[in-house]
């Protein structure tokens, strides 16, 4: 099976998306809501490409477009560029403060914002946080309201009771809109009022991991933790101490 | 005779004796449109009065005959006489009708037409009510009904939607019986040959959709009836569900058999409570007679139908969002492919058709694809139901053959163009566009309407006259789509919001010429880039009004003038002294007391001259609407004041 991207013939395998193929081939397609560990979502509309040619050309999100033999794809046609520019302008209007958005705009040659500012300046509602949270199995956050009132929130706008404190949302957020902080033995996430107690190390007393996390990981993934009551540093020290003791024993005549 | 045929025969006999009893049959249109006009009170009054007067009458609730403007609609059928159809029936008229039923003569007032014969579409039969011609209007020849051909709405307003027998008497469930004798592939071939296309708006060939679903591997498949009708002003599907629910069920059962599905779901919006009740009744009845459920008509085919109520999101009319909603998830669309025919409800192959599409199936199966292709145009076969609203005198539902011109629908049937010149018709709701009056010779046809920048859509038609501002129209529809966008994709969520910002600026006189270019670029990008049909079509009202009424947009921006006199602050109302007859209606309707007498008309003692006080005027336009002489004019803010002398 092969497809054609920008006039280049590329051998492909069934099941691949056009975005996957383009990335392997070093053909740049901008994305924001795409995440390797998650299913295609198609929300940011930045990865649009043109398929077919002439009047029959269609604009499709490449992240969700599976290859088929003989597929003709244009990632940089004038039509794609024009549409992408407007989509980038929409992103700039909602998230002008996000470095990733500004960087993408620059890469696309989109200069000054031309649309009215709308939104909190950082979140583009790409949904990665919601999807990652579901993937982790916490389902602590989701979308509420529709249209331009859409927002990411914990159920009923209350404190995110289901938050495990894993911080996968913060880690995967492309725009830096999610920030967690630790203080006084607790982990706080300001966006959905996460407030997760941290376990204290049985040895040194330092707060080191969200309390609900080990149990969840064990239950969901069958992961077993040795000495789960100690912080990584104390675990290392203890391991080192026991190795040293063992070595001494072995060396002793 | 086979037992199923015996069941149908017996139902038919029962239905015929109830449709054509040897006593007087009175029907009251009690669909939602009728109820809104007070049909319930009329119905109750007829019952009580008939009891009181000891009249032996058959009093029946039906769906809507289509002419909603005339609701409450009552029909009276005395043996041997044509059926009389009365409009705007109130208690007084009911009394007169009952006088007639009691042996006197039936009233002539508000008699909108007489029906001499019933066409049984499915069998091609005609049942004559009388051979004796009478004076008075013939219903089929009235301007409202003359252009119509009722296929989908053939039973609406005629039968009791709760009676499966009356449905069967008009050929109901015969198509199902016929289909069950054939191979599923033959059914699909017949539908394909008929050229039937999706009536929900997209116009996708129905046969091809069925075929695609049938071809998928697996033995669990679904059919869905999309009854989430949500376009403002459109209520075709509601009327069919309320007036003839069995035809939708029969279409779905045939579809299920053809596709290889054993389960069907009707997704109906919960704003249609009566349709839900009608459907549930009909499902119960169909099960009772063996047309639904296990081993349908002894064929070995099992099929069940479930009603799922929508929760008020317009986007759930989009098929992937609808599937998500039925599965209990948030009603948001997902990228296609995979199409529902490949992976739909619960990941299984699913065929989704709209109410009107399903309702077309029994007639096609009964009369054959050749009959169906004889109606309509080259690429659009059959009929289309339209809901007519706006600046017209006959609000209601019309069903016309494809190829009928917009003029025949909007002017002839709907009675458009009164004192004010027609300006445009908006077809396809928020997904459609405005077609200017100059193009009213356009035929109703998928390609013709798309070529004109609108769409066939589900069938809403909003008729607008010269008092309508096209910027305001675009703004109205955009505010609808902005609110109804699910918000998942950037293009639709933020694109509609931004377009509306620009439209607001234009309507408030704050825009610059560059805004028009920006609006157009944005509209094209949202159209091409949105995830689902909602966003892809949301810019249509903007694009079509920009295409045909660009000068109106420019007038707002360049001159700060709204020529239609809608956008507040961008016009003035003045009285043209030449045209003014001094009747004073304008002054009487003005709530702001802004219209005042400034003197006498020379030589006429009773006639006065009037002037609008611009300081007091709130631009409500009551005077404009009230003036029978078109003397109230809309002029630019800075324009020359029409002087009193």
The pLDDT value recorded for residue B133 is: 86
Residue A46 and residue A100 share a domain: yes
Contact B637, B570 (CB under 8 A): yes
3-state secondary structure of B583: coil
Of A214, A211, A230, A232, nearest to A222 (Cα)? A214
Residues A151 and A230 in one domain: yes
pLDDT score of B610? 87
Of A43, A66, A86, the CB nearest to B488: A43
Average pLDDT over residues A155-174: 94
- Would the pLDDT of B1 be above 80? no
On whether both A54 and A150 belong to a single domain, the answer is no
Mean pLDDT of B246-275: 97
CA angle B620, B621, B622 (to 5 degrees): 95
Question: What pLDDT band is residue B604 in, cutting at 50, 70 and 90?
Answer: low
* DSSP secondary structure code for residue B31 in this structure: S
Q: What b-and-e string marks burial along B481-497, b requiring 16 or more CB atoms within 10 Å of the CB?
A: bbebbbbbbbbbbbbbb
Please, which pLDDT band fits residue B575 given cuts at 50, 70 and 90?
Answer: very high
Say whether residue B315 is in contact with chain A using an 8 A CB cutoff: yes
Strands lying side by side in the sheet with B24-29: B57-62, B24-29, B74-77, B83-86, B111-115
pLDDT confidence of residue B306: 98
pTM of the complete model: 0.91
Residues A151 and A99 grouped into a single domain: no
pLDDT confidence of residue B222: 98
Residue A161 maps to a domain: yes
Joined together, the tokens standing for residue B49 give 């009065």
Q: What is the CA radius of gyration of chain B?
A: 27
Q: Does residue A117 lie within any of the structural domains?
A: no
Contact between B155 and B247 (Cβ < 8 Å): yes
Please check the confidence at residue B68 and state whether its pLDDT lies above 80. yes
DSSP state of B592: T
Structure tokens at B592: 């702001």
Q: How far is CA A190 from CA A81, A101, A138, A150, B513, in A?
A: 37, 22, 17, 18, 43
B435, two tokens: 């077609």
Q: Which of A72, A107, A142 is the last residue of a domain?
A: A107
Which of B330, B490, B529 faces A59 most closely, judged by CB atoms?
B529
Tokens of B532: 């689902």
- B573 strand-pairing partners: B634
Name which of B196, B166, B178, B206 is nearest B25 in CA terms: B166
| A78 and A167 assigned to the same domain | no
Question: What CATH number is attached to the domain comprising A16?
Answer: 3.10.20.740
pLDDT band (50, 70, 90) for residue B644: very low
Asked if the Cβ–Cβ distance from A45 to B489 is below 8 Å, we say yes
pLDDT of residue B132: 83
- The pLDDT confidence band at residue A116, using thresholds 50, 70 and 90, is very high
In angstroms, the CA B290 to CA B453 distance is: 47
Q: Do A44 and A101 share a domain, yes or no?
A: yes
Helix (H, G, I), strand (E, B) or coil at B32: helix
Quickly state the pLDDT bin for B70 (edges 50, 70, 90).
Answer: very high
Q: Any chain A CB within 8 A of the CB of B337?
A: yes
B600 pLDDT higher than 90: no
In angstroms, the CA A29 to CA A47 distance is 6
Residue of A70, A165, A176, A182 whose CA lies nearest to A121: A176
CA B305 → CA A56, B185, B223, B302, B310, distances in Å? Answer: 39, 22, 9, 10, 16
pLDDT value of position B642: 47
Q: Which of A87, A128, A142 to mutate to test the interface with B (most CBs of B within 10 A)?
A: A87
Q: What are the residues whose beta carbons fall under 8 Å from the beta carbon of B208, sequence distance 6 or more?
A: B192
Q: How far apart are CA B202 and CA B219, in angstroms?
A: 28
pLDDT one-digit tens code per residue, B188-203? 999 999 999 999 888 9
The two tokens of residue B210 are 């069925």
Nearest CB among B335, B337, B490 relative to A87 is that of B490
For residues B395 and B484, what is the distance between their CA atoms, to the nearest angstrom?
A: 26
Residue A118 lies in a domain: no
Pair A96, A142 in one domain? no
A149 and A66 within one domain: no
pLDDT digits (tens, 9 = 90+) for B330-384: 999 988 888 999 999 999 999 999 999 999 999 999 999 999 999 999 999 999 9
pLDDT of residue B601: 61
Task: Report the Cα–Cα distance between both ends of chain B, in Å, rounded.
Answer: 89
Note whether B492 and B526 are within 8 A (CB).
yes
Test A118 with B494 for CB contact under 8 angstroms: yes
Q: B124-147, pLDDT tens digit by residue?
A: 999 999 878 888 999 999 999 999
User: With an 8 Å Cβ cutoff, are B487 and A147 in contact?
Assistant: yes
Which among A46, A90, A147 has CB closest to B484?
A: A147
Task: Please choose, from the candidates B128, B191, B115, the residue with its C-alpha nearest in 3D space to the C-alpha of residue B363.
Answer: B191
Whether chain A has a CB inside 8 Å of the CB on B488: the answer is: yes
Task: Using DSSP bridges, classify how beta strands A8-11 and A2-5 pair: parallel, antiparallel or unpaired.
Answer: antiparallel
Do residues A129 and A167 touch, judged by C-beta distance below 8 A? no
Q: Do A90 and B482 touch (CB under 8 A)?
A: no
d(CA B433, CA B538): 10
Asked if residue A140 and residue A189 are part of one domain, the reply reads yes
Of A100, A161, A94, A98, nearest to A133 by C-alpha is A161
Write out the H or E segment, with its range, that includes residue B427. strand B422-427
- pLDDT band for position A247 (cuts 50, 70, 90): confident
3-state secondary structure of B302: coil
Q: Determine, yes or no, domain membership for A29.
A: yes
Domain-embedded: residue A179: yes
Mean pLDDT of chain B: 94
Q: Tell me which of A24-28, A133-137, A239-243, B31-35 is least confident.
A: A239-243
- Asked if residue B250 lies in contact with residue B173, where contact means CB atoms within 8 angstroms, the answer is yes
- Could you tell me if A57 and A99 lie in one domain? yes
For range A132-151, the mean pLDDT: 94
CB B441 within 8 A of CB B406: yes
Q: Are strands A72-74 and A2-5 parallel, antiparallel or unpaired?
A: parallel
Q: Which residues of B touch A141 (CB under 8 A)?
A: none
Instruction: Give the CA distances from residue B102 to residues B24, B44, B52, B95, B176, in Å, rounded to whole numbers and listed in that order.
Output: 10, 18, 12, 10, 42
In a domain, A87, yes or no: yes
Q: Which domains does chain B have, with CATH numbers?
A: 3-165 (3.40.30.10), 173-372 (3.40.50.11540), 383-465 (3.10.20.600), 470-558 (1.20.1440.230), 572-644 (3.30.70.20)
Contact of A179 with A189, CB cutoff 8 Å = yes
Enter the ipTM.
0.92
Could A59 and B330 be called an inter-chain contact, meaning their C-beta atoms sit closer than 8 Å? Answer: no
Distance to chain B for A156, nearest Cα, Å: 15
Task: State the average pLDDT over residues B41-49.
Answer: 96
Domain residues for A82?
2-107
Write out pLDDT tens, residues B287-309: 999 999 999 999 999 999 999 99
B263-269 β-sheet, strand order: B304-310, B263-269, B222-227, B350-354
Asked if residues B88 and B72 have their Cβ atoms less than 8 Å apart, the reply is: yes
Which 573-632 residues of chain B touch chain A by CB within 8 A? none
Q: Is residue A250 part of a domain?
A: no
| Among B486, B488, B531, B539, the residue to mutate for chain A (most A Cβ within 10 A) | B488
Query: Structural domain tally of chain A?
Result: 2
Determine the residue among A15, A32, A43 to mutate to test chain B binding: the one whose Cβ has the most chain B Cβ atoms within 10 Å: A43
Least Cα separation, residue B328 to chain A (angstroms): 15
- Helices B206-215, B245-259: axis angle to 10 degrees equals 40
Does residue A245 fall inside a structural domain?
Answer: no
- Residues 6 or more apart from B505 whose CB is under 8 A from it? B511, B515
Distance of CA B622 to the CA centre of its chain: 29
Nearest to A40 among B335, B489, B528 (CB): B335
**Per-residue pLDDT, B418:** 79
What is the predicted pLDDT for the residue at B645? 39
* Contacts of residue B632, Cβ cutoff 8 Å, sequence gap at least 6: B573, B574, B575, B576, B586, B612, B623, B624
Chain segment B511-527, per-residue pLDDT in tens: 999 999 999 999 999 99
A134 shares a domain with A102: no
Chain B hits for A118, CB-CB cut-off 8 Å, are 494, 497-498
Measured CA to CA, the distance from residue B455 to residue B202 in angstroms comes to: 8
Average pLDDT over residues A15-38: 96
Q: Distance between CA atoms of B330 and B519, rounded to whole angstroms?
A: 31
- Which candidate from B518, B526, B528 shows the least CB-CB separation from A114? B518
Chain A residues in contact with B522 by the CB 8 A cut-off are 86, 115
Q: Rounded to an integer, what distance in angstroms lies between the CA atom of residue B330 and that of residue B311?
A: 11
Asked if residue A8 and residue A103 are part of one domain, the reply reads yes
| Distance from C-alpha of B469 to C-alpha of B552, rounded to nearest angstrom | 8
The DSSP line for B486-535 is -S-SHHHHHHHHHHHHHHHHHHTT---HHHHHHHHHHHHHHHHH-SSHHH
C-alpha angle with apex B236: B233 to B241, nearest 5 degrees? 130
């Amino acid at each position: 099976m092969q497809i054609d991207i920008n006039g280049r013939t590329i051998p492909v395998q069934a099941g691949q998306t056009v975005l996957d193929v383009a990335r392997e081939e070093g053909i740049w397609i901008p994305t924001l809501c795409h995440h390797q560990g998650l299913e295609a979502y198609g929300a940011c509309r930045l990865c649009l490409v043109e398929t077919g040619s002439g009047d029959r050309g269609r604009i499709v999100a490449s992240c969700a477009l599976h290859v088929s033999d003989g597929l003709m794809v244009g990632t940089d046609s004038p039509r794609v560029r024009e549409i992408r520019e407007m989509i980038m302008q929409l992103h700039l209007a909602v998230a002008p403060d996000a470095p990733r958005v500004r960087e993408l705009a620059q890469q696309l040659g989109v200069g000054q914002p031309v649309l009215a500012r709308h939104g909190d300046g950082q979140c583009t509602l790409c949904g990665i946080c919601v999807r990652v949270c579901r993937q982790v199995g916490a389902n602590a956050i989701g979308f509420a309201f529709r249209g331009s009132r859409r927002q990411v929130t914990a159920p009923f706008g209350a404190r995110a009771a289901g938050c495990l404190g894993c911080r996968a949302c913060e880690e995967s957020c492309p725009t830096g809109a999610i920030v967690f902080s630790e203080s006084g033995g607790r982990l706080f996430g300001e966006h959905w009022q996460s407030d997760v107690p941290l376990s204290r190390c049985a040895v040194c007393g330092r707060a080191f991991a969200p309390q609900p996390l080990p149990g969840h990981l064990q239950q969901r993934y069958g992961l077993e933790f040795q000495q789960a009551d100690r912080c990584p540093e104390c675990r290392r020290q203890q391991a080192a101490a026991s190795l040293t003791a063992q070595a001494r024993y072995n060396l002793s005549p | 005779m086979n037992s199923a045929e015996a069941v149908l025969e017996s139902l038919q006999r029962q239905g015929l004796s109830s449709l054509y009893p040897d006593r007087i049959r009175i029907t009251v249109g009690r669909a939602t449109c009728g109820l809104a006009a007070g049909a319930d009170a009329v119905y109750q009054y007829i019952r009580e009065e008939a009891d009181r007067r000891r009249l032996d009458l058959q009093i029946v609730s039906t769906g809507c005959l289509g002419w909603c403007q005339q609701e409450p609609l009552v029909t009276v059928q005395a043996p041997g006489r044509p059926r009389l159809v009365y409009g705007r029936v109130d208690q007084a008229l009911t009394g007169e009708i009952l006088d007639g039923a009691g042996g006197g003569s039936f009233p002539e007032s508000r008699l909108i037409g007489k029906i001499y014969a019933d066409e049984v579409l499915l069998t091609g039969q005609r049942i004559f009510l009388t051979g004796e011609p009478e004076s008075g209007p013939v219903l089929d020849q009235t301007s409202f009904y003359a252009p119509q051909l009722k296929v989908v709405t053939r039973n609406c307003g005629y039968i009791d939607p709760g009676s499966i027998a009356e449905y069967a008497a008009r050929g109901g469930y015969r198509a199902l019986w016929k289909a069950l004798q054939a191979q599923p592939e033959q059914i699909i071939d017949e539908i394909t040959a008929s050229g039937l296309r999706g009536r929900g708006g997209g116009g996708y060939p129905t046969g091809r959709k069925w075929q695609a679903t049938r071809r998928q591997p697996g033995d669990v498949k679904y059919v869905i009836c999309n009854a989430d009708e949500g376009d403002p002003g459109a209520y075709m599907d509601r009327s069919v569900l309320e007036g003839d629910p069995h035809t939708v069920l029969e279409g779905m059962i045939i579809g299920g058999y053809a596709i290889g599905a054993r389960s069907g779901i009707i997704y109906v919006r919960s704003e249609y409570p009566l349709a839900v009740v009608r459907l549930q009744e009909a499902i119960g009845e169909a099960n009772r007679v063996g047309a639904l459920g296990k081993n349908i008509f002894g064929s070995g085919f099992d099929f069940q139908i479930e009603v799922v109520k929508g929760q008020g999101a317009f986007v759930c009319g989009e098929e992937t969002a609808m599937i998500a909603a039925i599965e209990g998830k948030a009603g948001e669309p997902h990228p296609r492919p995979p199409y529902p025919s490949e992976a739909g409800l619960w990941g299984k192959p699913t065929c989704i058709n709209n109410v009107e599409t399903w309702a077309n199936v029994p007639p096609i199966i009964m009369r054959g694809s050749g009959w169906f292709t004889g109606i309509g145009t080259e690429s659009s076969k059959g009929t289309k139901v339209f809901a007519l609203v706006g600046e017209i005198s006959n609000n209601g539902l019309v069903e016309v053959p494809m190829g009928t011109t917009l003029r025949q629908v909007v002017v002839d049937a709907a009675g458009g163009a009164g004192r004010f010149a027609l300006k445009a018709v908006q077809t396809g709701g928020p997904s459609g566009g405005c077609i200017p009056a100059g193009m009213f010779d356009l035929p109703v046809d998928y390609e013709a309407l798309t070529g004109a920048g609108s769409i066939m859509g589900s069938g809403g038609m909003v008729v607008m006259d010269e008092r309508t501002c096209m910027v305001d129209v675009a703004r109205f529809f955009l505010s609808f789509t902005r609110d109804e966008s699910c918000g998942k994709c950037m293009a639709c969520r933020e694109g509609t919001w931004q377009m509306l910002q620009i439209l607001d600026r234009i309507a408030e006189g704050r825009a610059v010429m560059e805004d028009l270019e920006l609006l157009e670029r944005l509209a094209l990008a949202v159209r091409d880039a949105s995830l689902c049909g909602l966003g892809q079509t949301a810019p249509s009202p903007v694009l079509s009004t920009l295409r045909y009424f660009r000068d109106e947009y420019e007038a707002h921006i360049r001159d700060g003038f709204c020529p239609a006199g809608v956008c507040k602050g961008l016009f003035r109302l003045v009285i043209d002294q030449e045209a003014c007859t001094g009747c004073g209606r304008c002054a009487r309707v003005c709530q702001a007391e802004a219209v005042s007498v400034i003197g006498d008309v020379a030589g006429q003692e009773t006639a006065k001259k009037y002037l609008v006080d611009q300081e007091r005027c709130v631009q409500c336009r009551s005077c404009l609407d009230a003036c029978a002489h078109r003397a109230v004019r809309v002029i630019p803010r800075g324009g020359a004041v029409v002087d009193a002398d």
